[in-house]
């Protein structure tokens, strides 16, 4: 990849991380595009992009969110980035959870703030959504994990880090955090998951489920016990935190 002659990728420019050693030691190839439809879409179709290619956008005109939603942010305000993984673990959801945990670590590193996670991978600050993560798999196998993290702007009811924070510094810390070895990644995810122990409403295509979130298994499924003591294992859905523990 040279950023020169790959169709729409002529617009990609190399992006310097705030700590160049992070790119070097982690083998990250980091690119910037001023405007694109969606960085996830771009990396899904960038078939020659190597493992750990990262694309950051100044603005997205068709940003994708979970559950077929859109993801919007004013130009230049927030971190909008996707990572292409061609080396995919046996459980691809491990990558998504690793990015969520790394985002929490990055926020702590850059701002000192203690973010948490909401199942499956929202990053919360004081209970409000700070970042969303969308993982998509291309038919050929590579997985693209995209993150939209509110830095200078957030929609009503959400959280942002504040305009004084450099989105590239947050990205640098996130990429560095992905390479910090941990004894048990699943245990770390569990610890950060504010959803566990909470009364939740899970909005499912079949209707709402209300109960207590008690566990997440290694495949990322949320276990929710309803009022009849029946345990439901949720693969995908929207969770609303109701009351505390």
Give the footprint of ligand BTN on this chain (CB under 6 A): 38-40, 60, 63-66, 69, 71, 80-82, 122, 132-134, 146-148
User: Residue of minimal CB distance from ligand BTN?
Assistant: 132
Which of 57, 79, 72, 63 lies closest to 9, judged by CA?
57
Helix (H, G, I), strand (E, B), or coil: what is residue 77? coil
Shortest distance in whole angstroms from residue 64 CB to ligand BTN: 4
**How many Cβ atoms are within 10 Å of 12's Cβ, its own excluded?**
23
**62, two tokens:** 């068709």
**224, two tokens:** 């929710």
Cβ nearer to ligand BTN, comparing 66 with 188? 66
Q: What beta strand segments (E) does 37-172 contain?
A: 53-60, 79-85, 116-118, 122-125, 128-137, 143-149
Cβ nearer to ligand BTN, comparing 39 with 53? 39
Shortest distance in whole angstroms from residue 71 CB to ligand BTN: 4
Cβ nearer to ligand BTN, comparing 72 with 215? 72
β-strands 53-60, 29-36 pairing: parallel
Cβ nearer to ligand BTN, comparing 73 with 212? 73
Shortest distance in whole angstroms from residue 129 CB to ligand BTN: 7
Judge whether 103 and 174 are in contact, CB under 8 Å.
yes
Number of H helices, E strands in the chain: 5, 13
Shortest distance in whole angstroms from residue 57 CB to ligand BTN: 7
Shortest distance in whole angstroms from residue 229 CB to ligand BTN: 31
Long-range (24+ apart) CB contacts under 8 A made by 220-226 are: 220/91, 220/93, 220/96, 220/97, 220/120, 222/119, 222/120, 222/195, 224/200
Cβ nearer to ligand BTN, comparing 84 with 198? 84
Cβ nearer to ligand BTN, comparing 136 with 225? 136
Shortest distance in whole angstroms from residue 158 CB to ligand BTN: 10
């Amino acid at each position: 990849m040279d950023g020169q002659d790959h169709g729409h990728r002529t617009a990609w420019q190399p992006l310097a991380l705030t700590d160049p050693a992070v790119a070097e030691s982690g083998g990250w190839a980091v690119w910037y595009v001023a405007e694109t439809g969606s960085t996830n879409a771009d990396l899904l179709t960038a078939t020659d992009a190597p493992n750990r290619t990262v694309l950051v956008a100044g603005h997205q005109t068709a940003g994708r969110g979970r559950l077929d939603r859109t993801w919007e942010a004013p130009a230049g305000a927030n971190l909008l980035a996707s990572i292409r993984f061609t080396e995919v673990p046996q459980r691809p959801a491990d990558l998504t959870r690793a990015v969520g945990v790394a985002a929490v670590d990055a926020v702590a590193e850059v701002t000192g703030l203690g973010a948490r996670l909401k199942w499956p991978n929202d990053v919360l600050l004081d209970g409000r959504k700070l970042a969303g993560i969308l993982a998509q798999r291309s038919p050929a196998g590579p997985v693209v994990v995209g993150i939209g993290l509110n830095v200078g702007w957030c929609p009503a009811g959400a959280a942002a880090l504040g305009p004084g924070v450099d989105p590239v510094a947050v990205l640098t810390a996130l990429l560095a955090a992905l390479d910090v070895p941990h004894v048990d990644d699943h245990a770390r995810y569990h610890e950060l998951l504010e959803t566990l122990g909470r009364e939740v409403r899970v909005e499912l295509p079949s209707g709402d489920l209300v109960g207590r979130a008690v566990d997440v298994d290694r495949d990322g499924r949320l276990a929710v016990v309803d009022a009849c003591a029946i345990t439901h294992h949720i693969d995908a859905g929207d969770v609303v935190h109701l009351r505390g523990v």
